[in-house]
Structure formats: C-alpha cells, structure tokens
Amino acid sequence: MWKIIFPGIAMVGVTYAFARLSFGLFLPNITVSLGLSESNAGFASSAAYIAYSLALVISSYIISRFGQKRVIQFSGLSAIIGLIVIALSNGFFSLICGTFIAGLGSGWASPAFSQVAATSLTKEDSDRGNTWINTGTSFGLILSGPIALLFAEQWRFAFIVFATIALAVLIWNSVSIPAKDILTSKQNIFKYSIFNKAKFILISSLIIGIGSSIFWTFSRTYLAVEYKMSSAESSLFWVIMGASGVVGGFAGGLINRIGLTLSYRIAITIMASAILIITIPTTTTIYLSSVFFGISYIFITGILIVWSSHKFAQMPSIGVSLSFLALGIGQSIGSSGAGEMIDITTYTITFVAFSLFCLIGLLVPVKRD
C-alpha cells in the first residue's frame, strides 16, 4: 500500500502546494519585480483556479482515455513546465501562461489517485490510502512556507527549486504507480443521473468551499491588520497549519472506526471552531486556530474523496472531480463575498459569520453506498 501512497503524497504536494498555492506566498515580490498592477496580479492568480476547474471537468474523460498512470504523469509535467515558465517570466503574459499550466496538474491529480486507490488497493486500504494521499497538500505547505520565507526576494530561484523537486517526484511516480485499465463500462457508470447521485456531495462541497475560503484568503491579512503580526510570524502560522494537516491522514482509519457520517460532522465542527477562535486576540488561540484549520481542512477533503469514491465505486474519479469542482467554486464565491463583507463590516464580524455558515454543513445528510 505505502509503495503507492508515498509517491502519491509527493505528487499531490507538488501539484497543489508548489504549483498552485505557493504562488500567493510569492505574489507581493513577483508583483514588484515584474511591475504588475493589482488587477494583473489578481488575474494571474485566478488563472491557476481557472485551469484547475477546467482540468477537473475533463479529468474523468482523460483518465478513461489515457489511463490513471498517464494522467498522473500529465499532472507532474504540467507542474514542472508551469513552475519553470513562472520562474522565467518577464511580464504579465508569460506569468499568466505559467500559472495556468501549473494549475492544470492539481485538477488531474486527485481524481487520478482516487482511481489508483480503487484499482490497486483492497477495500480495507482504499479509504486510508485516499486520505493519506490527500495530505500531500500539507507536506507541500510545510516545505513551501520556509522556502517562501528564505527566498521571497529570490522568487525565481525558489520556483526552479520547486520544479526540480517536481521532476524527481514525477520520476518516482512513473516507477511506482501501476498502469491499470478501468474495468467498467460507460453504461454502468451513467446508469443513473450523475448529479442526482452526487447532489449531497456537491451541496456539502459548496458549503465547505465557501466556509473555508475566508481562512485561505484572509487569515494572514487578518493577523497583519488586526494583530500587527510580522511576516515571519504569519509564515509560522502558515507552516503550523500545513503541518497540522498531516493529522488529517488518519481520516480513513477514523471513518472505518466511527463511520462516515460522524467523521464528517466532527470535521465540520472543528473547521467552524478554527474560523471562530482566530477572532480571540491571544497568541494561544491564534495558533490553535491554525492547528484546527489545518487538521479539519485535510480531514474534510479526505472525507469528500472517500464519500465520492463510495458513491461512484466503478469510477471514483467522476465523484472526486465533481466534489472538488464544487469545492473550488465555493471558495471562489466565498472569497469574493468575504472581501465585500469585510469592506462593509469588519474582519472579526466576517470571520464569525463564516464560522456560523460552516455549521450549515451539519444539516447535509451523508449517505455511504
């Protein structure tokens, strides 16, 4: 099992944390270096999300067309090429090309690995395998945070380092991941309406995306504006969040012990608590918020993968693609809404409101087929 899980963790770390999320850590220095306007910087950042969404939409098709291993290789290649293009960018056009290419891999990686877990692991191991592979984002954040702190001004060098690591991870996956055919037919996959089958997963993913968006987008800004935290202190906050997410890898084992429904409700409650307690102005609660959010986000996304994989047992990539697409749409909606609400009210009121919004997810019925 671990022969597949370890390279999977590494690939998810490369495609999510390095190729997509790390761009935001370097964005202030990139903006100054390339002379970008705020709108240009925002558009370059959103290009990665657009690519991620497009990749999710076509992921099930290309997995059925080219196979799970080939799509994982596509993920690694897109990360390498995108990171190199970002590192060599000399203006807005080349930068946006780089972020778009880099963003594609994250949309292909999770659906492809859900397929690998279904075809290469036993039923007992597939849930654990899915949730551990999902922690790759956390391991990537643990590495990217210190690199961003040390090489913020030498951002081109940092992206070359990321690309070099991505190349090693691609080779590792090419050697370790088995190439297997999808032993199912389209008639069985589409026997029932996909959206009817996935409606509760989609609703839950949308709620989680909206609720979590404020933490991803505004938590470090909140710390700087409200608590006057330094860049080093907020970077430590980011690294702690990433390190805590590793605990989310135990989600698969917990699901097998206490069930999917209770695991889901625990994760939602912890996430809501994380978003709430950052508003309490003490060092302990601020960093505890980071720990709780890191654990709960990786925990809840792992649960979504397991839930989707059970709903679409013949081709899990379909359910995972839909779930993560809804999650991304929710984060996009939530980020915009949070920004507007902060302008109208305050950071504290907005964080409290989003914390309460997360609890709506407790009302969604969780059914495991």
Q: What was the pLDDT predicted at 339?
A: 85
pLDDT tens digits, 131-180: 889 888 888 888 887 887 788 789 999 999 999 999 999 999 999 998 77
Share of the chain above pLDDT 70, in %: 95
Reported for 28-37, long-range contacts at CB under 8 A and 24+ positions apart, including other chains, are: 28/152, 29/152, 29/153, 29/155, 30/89, 30/95, 30/155, 33/155, 34/89, 34/90, 34/91, 34/92, 34/95, 36/92, 36/95
Residue 246: DSSP 8-state: G
Q: Where are the domains of the chain?
A: 1-183, 188-369
CA angle 5/20/48 to nearest 5° reads 130
Tokens of 32: 């100054």
pLDDT tens digits, 227-246: 888 877 877 888 888 888 88
Span 1-183 CATH architecture: Up-down Bundle (1.20)
Question: What are φ and ψ of residue 228, in 5° steps?
Answer: 55, 35
pLDDT tens digits, 10-45: 999 999 989 988 887 787 788 888 988 767 777 787
CA angle 263/7/79 to nearest 5° reads 100
Provide the pLDDT confidence category of residue 181 given band limits of 50, 70 and 90.
Answer: low
Same fold, 1-183 and 188-369: yes
Q: What was the pLDDT predicted at 186?
A: 46
Residue 185: pLDDT over 70: no
- Give first-to-last CA distance, the chain, whole Å: 23
pLDDT tens digits, 290-340: 999 999 999 999 999 989 888 887 788 888 889 999 998 888 888 888 888
Residue type, 17: A
pLDDT tens digits, 72-113: 999 999 999 999 999 999 988 999 999 999 999 999 998 999
Q: What was the pLDDT predicted at 182?
A: 57
Q: What does the mean pLDDT of the chain come to? A: 87
188-369 carries CATH number 3.40.640.10 = no
Which of 46, 53, 102, 48 has its CA nearest to residue 75? Answer: 102
